[in-house]
Amino acid sequence: AAYSSRTRAKALCGLCGAETAVPARNMSSHHYSPVDAEDLPGSYRYRQKTLQRWRFSMFLSFAAGVVVCMIAYPRLLPCKACAPCEKASPPVNVADVASRAAQIAVSKCPACPACPECQHKPCPACELSCPKIPECPSIAAAPAASQPDDAEVVARHRTKMLARDMVNIAECKPGQVCRADALNRSRVIGQKGITLWMTGLSGSGKTTIAEALERRLLYKLGKNVFRIDGDNLRTGLTKDLGFSPDDRAESVRRASHVAALFSEAGVITMVTLISPYRKDRDAARALHEKQGIPFMEVFMDVPLSVVQARDPKGLYKKVAKGLIKGFTGVDAPYEAPLHAELTLKNSELPVEQCVDQLVMALTAAGALSGHAMPDGLTPPDGGVHINRITTAPEALLARRKEAETLPKVPLTDIDVNWLQVVGEGWAAPLRGFMREGTLVQTLHFNSVLHDPNNVTGDYNSATTDWMQSSFPRERVSSPVPIVLPVTDFTRRQIAGAGAVALTNAAGVALAILRSPEVYELRVRELIHRTFGMTDDEHPYVKELLKPGKDYAVGGEVELLGKITYNDGLDAYRLTAEELRAAFKAKGADVVYAFQTRNPTHAGHAFLMKDSRQKLMARGYKKPVLWLSPLGGWTKASDVPLDVRVKQHQEVMAAGELHPDWTVMAIWPSPMIYAGPTEVQFHAKSRRAGGASYFTVGRDPAGMPYSSDGPGHEEGDDIYHPDHGRYALMSSPGVGGMQFLGFSKVYYDKKDHTMRGKDESRPDDFISISGSKMRKLAALAAKPCPPTIPSDLIASKCIPPGFMVQKGWEIVSDYYIRQKTGDWVPYSKQLGGLPLAPNMRSSAEQPFGKVAFTAHFVGADGAQISPWHNLALYPTASEPSFVNFVCEIPRGVSAKVEIHKSVPYNDLVQDVNKDGSPRYYTYSPSTVNYGAIPQTWEDPHHADAHTGLGGDNDPIDVLQLNEGSCVAGAVQRVRVLGALALVDGGETDWKLLVVDVDAADAPAWRELGDVPAERVNEVREWFRLYKTSDGKPPNEYGLNGEPIDAAAALAVAAETHALWGGAGRARCEFGGEPCWGMEARRSVDWRSAGAAVFALLAVAQLYFIVTAVQRKRRALAAASPKKKR
């Protein structure tokens, strides 16, 4: 309706119905509708419409407030950028908030202007609009409909909780003892906890390989192992997590904490999670490293195309159909490890080979043994590295001084070998010679109890307690007895001592044995239990049965420096620690040992190279061979040690065993020839050097019977050739050692190699046994012709390729000169005998060899005879003093003496009837032993005191001083008395003297001044010292009572007269005259005899050649046309 500008119009407010006067000038700015008469104020209809409009307006206002509240209120809560949002963070009543929002919305609605009081109809309409609630500035850009889901809210809350500081939590920090020590725990349970974190795409083989590894570890190796994978986690521990990056990170975090707890408890724990993000895996590693728990990341490196083809769960098909979004490797990232400890390309390897590599890695980490492996190689038996060598200069000097004050226990060559074995750790965990309890366990169980954690009060070094009731639970292999036999005299000498010195033949202290335990040695029980047979001529049994040593000493040893032998082979004698370092220097990831006490021929080389190929097929990258010649005592018929070592050198130099992957090192143990029992020790001992594998063939450590007996004849095999290998490979005490067995190899005439026999062409193969090789070498066999004969012995030829040529020449030279050559049969200490400045010896024949010789020189350097050129009396004015020539210093067990039948009567090594060096086996000499010059006990002259003839020697002298003399030294001594020893029906005077010029010389002037116990000790020693050689005790004339100094000097004067009288012509030694009687006579009759024999041989050869020529001429004359 149009309104006149001259009049004022009336209108009704659409909200309240009030009549409002509206100026005409403002009419154009409002929208009004005409008002009917019925709609005027006061009418019923007007009131109804007004009420309806009001109700509708209120409803809209309320609804708008609720919607605005629901949208805006949650977004205001987390906002920290503005004050209004901060106020919304405390929890409030939602109903109250909605009510207040509605009230605010209504109160802020604009009011329409009042309708003009006019009667025109209709009144213009009034449109109303409420203001919008202002949004928080920080989220103003976000769309109103985009609100966080529950997972995001939970993730934010979890992040906030994980970042908060922990209070009132007692966490076990590194270095604190809040749980059992991890190292001791692993030793006790026999394994070390470790986490294998297996990562890779879905379908990359994580679960398959983990299940196979679990079966191998649990059922075959008996290890406690547990597998954690994503599927079993999502049924419980991570059931509340999804697949968002935050949830994946949380899944990895929880799994890593669970794995760390399992591993800390000693369980080998496998975690098989995709874990696509590198930062999450690095966090898991950091958690383990912080707690000192081993962690190994294993990457299943399989291409996407391969896992899509595998698709074990059908997930990739769903991804292809679009049913799964955000799938790792397809449309979600997978970050491959950069430095995984192990990468398995299992699409290229079979499952078992993957498992082999995992087992190798676990072994190298020490997880399967429970022992520390700082160098990554197999730990010794018992897990304890034993090294009893004293190396620190100050400590070594102190211990050597201590050894000088201790009672002495003499060592034979075999004892020295065993000392090196226990001192260097080759018999770990043994730290010395066996105590009686350890021996009993070894004989009955082939194992000993071991207490690495010392929970039983130092069980490993305690004296045997027969009533002990608490024992360690751990056992380690101990197949052979390692004992130190001693005589009853030594037993009494060391009674009550807290420590004893162990000395070699030269009297040099090699070690100190602490807390000695002396016990009766039941030799027959030891033999039967160890060897399982009866053969008293068996070479090692024969050594055990030598008479006199009825006791044994056990205890822990401390070596006084590294044991050396000075035989030119010490460079190849590496300690266990030195050997492990040599393996690591070659980059070894595994070591395999091959023991030999024979020269290496092509058959041996084939086995060693074949073993290496087998290890590489198992996944090892750098297998290193330990060529391990046995260095200790061996029987006389075995090839000498130096010959074997030199031959091995030539094999390596020729590249047959390449030096890049071969280490030759002598293993120090003696050989006891105990077959299946001994070979277990051979394998166990190699673990000390880091070997994980041991190559073993037929009849290891076996030999034939040496005599006839019940059920056997000499030459029969003692042990079945296959039993040793089988017993070793099935032994319960081998620990982590594994074995590479092989069968007999033959020479193939077709391709000139050694290998297994091809049954399809048996005639092409020749068996070349050790005995056949020895015969061929003794025959100086030459290379065979191109057509290899089957009978090599008859043809006297060696087939090509059987052995490296230079190596064969070394072996052949030995067998040709076997009886005349100068060989090193086994590790036997040479040198060490202190010599006086006036003595000269040969470096080629040092002390310890049968041919050892030291000659005397005078002041002018010219050679002299100690028997004939030295005077009996130092000066004519001192008749109670004589000159004493020291032959055997106190503490030396080698029988060294002035030799009567060589020119100038050199100091030589006495020998037994079989040509072997002679030693005092009863005990080392308890006195400084020697002779006085220019005396001779004539066997044809009856002594006035005994009525018996002399022993055809100069008079022996026993110097009673506490200190030791030096071999060859000449000393002025006072005569105190003498003992009349009767040896074999001959008088053998022993002058008792004292060195009066020594710094510690006692003030003894007559025999009564000498302590009675010292005289009794010496008297008993010389009566019984031969009993340990199986001979009867010596006897004494005069009822064993010594004569005084005057009578002793009279005996010396009488024998001096016999030496200078006509009786010289009757002096002989071994059927030969005493060539040294005249100092001027210096003809070398041995050399002369050799020359005579050489002339006779030349003459014989001349006659043979002449006879052959005559025969040929006769044949030629009879058949002139026949070709010569």
As annotated, the active-site residues are: 275
Angle at 228 between CA 227 and CA 231, to 5 degrees: 125
Structure tokens at 222: 């008996």
Classify strands 881-888 and 896-898 as parallel, antiparallel or unpaired.
unpaired
Rounded Cα gap, residues 874 and 686, in angstroms: 59
Given a contact cutoff of 8 angstroms between Cβ atoms, the answer to whether 955 and 926 are in contact is no
Structure tokens at 281: 């895996």
Rounded Cα gap, residues 773 and 600, in angstroms: 11
Rounded Cα gap, residues 1049 and 882, in angstroms: 9
The rounded radius of gyration (Å) of the Cα atoms in the chain is 50
SS3 per-residue string spanning 167-236: CCCCCCCCCCCCCCCHHHHHHHHCCCCEEEEEECCCCCCHHHHHHHHHHHHHHHCCCCEEEEEHHHHHCC
As to burial, measured by CB atoms within 10 angstroms (0-12 exposed, 13-18 middle, 19+ buried), residue 296 is: buried
Rounded Cα gap, residues 1007 and 1045, in angstroms: 7
Tokens 């986490």 — which residue?
A: 195
Rounded Cα gap, residues 826 and 632, in angstroms: 5
Rounded Cα gap, residues 824 and 353, in angstroms: 46
DSSP class of residue 593? E
Rounded to a whole number, what is the largest CA-CA distance in the chain?
Answer: 188
Return all residues near 339 (Cβ < 8 A) that are at least 6 apart: 297
* One-letter amino acid for residue 812 of the chain: S
Tell me how crowded residue 291 is: count the other CB atoms within 10 A of its CB: 17
Rounded Cα gap, residues 376 and 365, in angstroms: 6
Measured in whole angstroms, the distance separating CA 130 from the mean position of its chain's CA atoms is 88
Rounded Cα gap, residues 910 and 900, in angstroms: 12
Structure tokens at 802: 């059987």
As to burial, measured by CB atoms within 10 angstroms (0-12 exposed, 13-18 middle, 19+ buried), residue 393 is: exposed
Tokens 């040496």 — which residue?
A: 706
Return all residues near 816 (Cβ < 8 A) that are at least 6 apart: 777, 778, 780
Helix residue spans in 449-590 (DSSP H): 488-493, 523-531, 539-544, 576-585
* One-letter amino acid for residue 1070 of the chain: G
Pick from 87, 34, 94, 35: which is nearest to 69 by CA? Answer: 94
Pick from 657, 659, 529, 541: which is nearest to 594 by CA? Answer: 657
Rounded Cα gap, residues 881 and 991, in angstroms: 12
Measured in whole angstroms, the distance separating CA 1093 from the mean position of its chain's CA atoms is 56
Q: In Å, what is the CA distance from 399 to each residue of 417, 495, 678?
A: 21, 21, 34
Q: In Å, what is the CA distance from 289 to each residue of 183, 195, 248, 249, 739?
A: 16, 11, 21, 19, 34
Structure tokens at 874: 């130092």
Tell me how crowded residue 313 is: count the other CB atoms within 10 A of its CB: 11
Tokens 């005249």 — which residue?
A: 1078
1068: left (phi over 0), alpha (psi -120 to 50) or beta: beta
Rounded Cα gap, residues 955 and 930, in angstroms: 9
